[in-house]
Amino acid sequence: MAATGEMKAPARRAVAPAIGGAPVTARAVLLVRVVVALAILAVWEGLSRSGLFYGEVIPSLTRIVASLGKLLVDPVFYKNLQVTALETFTSLAIGAALGVVTGIVLGANRFLMRAFEPYVYYLSPTPRIILFPVMIMWFGVGPASKVALGALSAYFAVALSTAAGMRQIDAILIRVGRSFRATGWQMATKIYLPAMRVPILNGIRLGMGTAIITVLLAETKLSNQGLGYMIMQVYTRFDMPGLYAILIVVFAIAGACNALIGKLAREQV
Amino acid sequence: MSAVIEDIRLQPAMVVDDVVKRFGRGDELVTAVDHVSFNVQQGEFVSVIGPSGCGKSTLFNIIGGLLGDYEGSVMIGDERISAPHPAVGMVFQEESTFPWRNVIENVAFPLELQGVPKSERMDRAHHFIDMVGLASFEKNFPSQLSGGMRQRVSIARTLVSQPKILLMDEPFAALDEQTRLLLGDKITQIQQELNQTTLLITHNLTEAVQLSDRIVVMTYRPGKVKRIVDIKLPRPRTSDVVGSDAFGHYVAEIWNDLREEATRGMADSESAAARRGSHG
Ligand SMILES: Nc1ncnc2c1ncn2[C@@H]1O[C@H](COP(=O)(O)OP(=O)(O)O)[C@@H](O)[C@H]1O
Ligand SMILES: [Mg+2]
């Protein structure tokens, strides 16, 4: 693995000449990112101080940071975070497992693929939140209805991406498996799954994104725990710095998970 | 007792009898393999040679059991091949290592399928990796190896399953001439060490003469057997044999047969290209 890293390192640092002639270096990219972040913060602070907006709509950065500090030591926050994390994780696990199986079945069977593709394809972009009332009737107002909804949204992303990955498998590897007389189960676990690990991981990354959104959204609608519920509470108190603090934490966590899975997928080449 | 052993020895490892394979139908009908018969004795090295498109890979897939729907018979013992047979180990023309497994995990793959315990399969894989000269690359991934090394991994992976018949489809096609000769030496050495019955599919004449006891020369479309030539070069053999007079005679003799077929093949692909061109 160390050797792979060594060999790939130069590619990542590749100094390709940009159209303008200036070389694109990792450092320049980082610099631009930092400048953009600083600019956004500066504009925010400027707007906040300008007094153009009503009261707390755009609170000053110092107040947001103070709220963030308070939030990060608040046990209630951690309790809600735990609820949301657990709901998201469970829904992702269920949705991804069912999605991988569906993807393999559809990808392996041209007839089933043609029969079911329209359903998966056209249903996948519909907003799942409209099904929330149904889920509440089926699973109650507790975490189960959020998990069900989250699983449903992760499911489509993983199924589509797995089915697509299935069709891209190098046919020769399947012939190798057959020539060694691999059983159906061995073909699935030792050839199909590892050969599709990149599309599957990408599907899981997308699925996680929609699962987080769906779970949070469902929590804001009807619940008595979770970060979504906490956001609505803070909002009804009109505690804007508190609201922004939670949003920052949610963005940070979602971004970190995304980066982690993305990194896993990139390592698998 | 010894009579029985004699009998087993005299029995061919494999009999290809009147095999026919057609693809498509109507105007599109292609006879890829046309009434092909030959056999392979125990411990013998046989090559099938013919120009591109003469049906060699089709024959390879039939013998390997990957193309079950054909006429005639390929017999191993008293079994007609219609699915992959445990006695046959295939090495493919294409790049076929698993990119997510390192060398030793690639080679151990067939043993993993058979449920051989880990320490034993690592030992056995190691033995064959050593045999193909990759002992210091066991932990490397295919992407870190050259094409020739990856092909040696594929060969070791097939050998580890200890097939009675080693079946290879142009395993060196993508390699340069020097690598090809040296790998040929390795193959000869392995074949002699294991007394490995081998059927090599190739379009390379020097390779075929260097390695074989017998060469089956195929015609270009439809793929028939044109001639079967015994190669009586002394064994043990190395790539040095390439410089000998006897070698030159065999090459010249077989080339005489092949030239005609290769010319037809070339004319055919040129007219096909022209047809494609005129269609825009
Ligand atoms: N699956 C297939 N469907 C239709 N035609 C095929 C198929 N496989 C091979 N052929 C045809 O059979 C002929 C022999 O092909 P092949 O066995 O690959 O030849 P070789 O390996 O000697 O180059 C070619 O004309 C090829 O187009
Ligand atoms: Mg071929």
Query: Measured between CB atoms, which of A186, A194, A268 is closest to B113?
Result: A186
CB contacts, 8 Å: B140 with chain A? 3
CA–CA gap between residue B280 and residue B274 (Å, rounded) = 10
Higher pLDDT, A236 or A268: A236
Is ligand 1 within 6 A of the CB of residue B203? Answer: no
CA–CA gap between residue B170 and residue B91 (Å, rounded) = 9
**Is ipTM beyond 0.95?**
no
Identify the pLDDT of residue B123.
Answer: 95
Please state the pTM of the whole predicted model: 0.77
Chains A, B: CB pairs < 8 Å: 53
Q: A61 — phi, psi (to 5°)?
A: -60, -40
Query: For chain A, how many structural domains are there in total?
Result: 1
How open is the CA angle B247-B252-B255, to the nearest 5 degrees?
Answer: 120
Paired sense of beta strands B214-218 and B225-230, if any: antiparallel
CB contacts, 8 Å: B98 with chain A? 173, 176, 191, 194-195
Q: Please name which ligand lies nearest the alpha carbon of B221.
A: 1
Across the range A90-113, mean pLDDT stands at 87
Report the phi/psi class of residue A171: left, alpha or beta, with left for phi > 0 and alpha for psi in -120 to 50: alpha
Residue A41 lies in a domain: no
Check if the beta carbon of residue B72 is closer than 8 Å to that of residue B122: no
The 10s digit of each residue's pLDDT in A59-93 is 888 888 888 999 889 999 999 999 999 999 999 99
The 10s digit of each residue's pLDDT in A130-155 is 888 888 889 888 889 999 999 998 99
Identify the pLDDT of residue B103.
Answer: 96
Query: Measured between CB atoms, which of B100, B113, B140 is closest to A180?
Result: B113
Q: Which residues of chain B have pLDDT under 70?
A: 1-10, 277-280
Q: Which residues of B touch A (CB under 8 A)?
A: 64-66, 84, 86, 88-90, 92, 94-96, 98-101, 109-110, 112-113, 140-141, 143-144, 161
CB contact under 8 A, A181 and B86: yes
Q: What is the largest CA-CA distance in chain A?
A: 74
Residue A177 lies in a domain: yes
In our burial notation (b when 16+ CB lie closer than 10 A, e otherwise), range A118-136 reads: eebeeeeeeebbebbeebb
CB contact under 8 A, B140 and A3: yes
Please indicate if any CB of chain B lies within 8 Å of the CB of A11. Answer: no
Paired sense of beta strands B197-202 and B165-169, if any: parallel
Q: Which ligand 1 atom sits closest to the C-alpha of B203?
A: 22
Which residue's CA lies nearest to atom 7 of ligand 1? Answer: B23
Which residue's CA lies nearest to atom 5 of ligand 1? Answer: B23
CATH number at residue A170: 1.10.3720.10
pLDDT band at A12 (very low <50, low <70, confident <90, very high): very low
CB contact under 8 A, B90 and A182: no
Distances (CA, A) of B56 to B49, B52, B169: 8, 8, 8
Identify the pLDDT of residue A269.
Answer: 60
Query: Measured between CB atoms, which of A4, A180, A269 is closest to B109?
Result: A180
Higher pLDDT, A110 or A236: A236
Contacts 24+ apart (CB under 8 A), A112-116: A113/A163
Output the CATH code of domain B2-87+164-274: 3.40.50.300
* Structural domain boundaries, residue A205: 69-267
Identify the pLDDT of residue A20.
Answer: 54
Tokens, residue B233: 């070069």
Is ligand 1 within 6 A of the CB of residue B24? Answer: yes
pLDDT band at A8 (very low <50, low <70, confident <90, very high): very low
How open is the CA angle A59-A63-A66, to the nearest 5 degrees?
Answer: 150
Check if the beta carbon of residue A243 is closer than 8 Å to that of residue A234: yes
Question: Ligand 2 centroid vs B201 CA: distance in angstroms?
Answer: 8
Report the phi/psi class of residue B259: left, alpha or beta, with left for phi > 0 and alpha for psi in -120 to 50: alpha
pLDDT band at A7 (very low <50, low <70, confident <90, very high): very low
Across the range A1-21, mean pLDDT stands at 43
Across the range A3-24, mean pLDDT stands at 46
Residue A102 lies in a domain: yes
Query: Looking at the predicted structure, is the pLDDT value of residue A6 above 70?
Result: no
CB contact under 8 A, B84 and A191: no
Identify the pLDDT of residue A14.
Answer: 44
Is ligand 1 within 6 A of the CB of residue B53? Answer: yes
Check if the beta carbon of residue B86 is closer than 8 Å to that of residue A180: no
Query: Looking at the predicted structure, is the pLDDT value of residue A17 above 70?
Result: no
Pocket residue to mutate for ligand 1, from B22, B28, B30, most atoms within 8 A of Cβ: B30
pLDDT band at A168 (very low <50, low <70, confident <90, very high): confident
Which residue's CA lies nearest to atom 18 of ligand 1? Answer: B57
Question: Ligand 1 centroid vs B26 CA: distance in angstroms?
Answer: 16
SS3 (DSSP) at B251: helix
Residue A64 lies in a domain: no
- Taking each helix axis as running N to C, give the angle between helix A143-167 and helix A75-108, from 0 to 180 degrees, rounded to the nearest 10: 40
Alpha-carbon dihedral sign for residues A100, A105, A111, A112: negative
Across the range A259-268, mean pLDDT stands at 81
DSSP structure string for A125-157: TS-GGGGHHHHHHHH-SSHHHHHHHHHHHHHHH
Residue A5 lies in a domain: no
Amino acid at B135: A
Residue A159 lies in a domain: yes
Identify the pLDDT of residue A86.
Answer: 94
CA distance B217 to chain A (A): 26
Identify the pLDDT of residue B166.
Answer: 94
pLDDT band at A5 (very low <50, low <70, confident <90, very high): very low
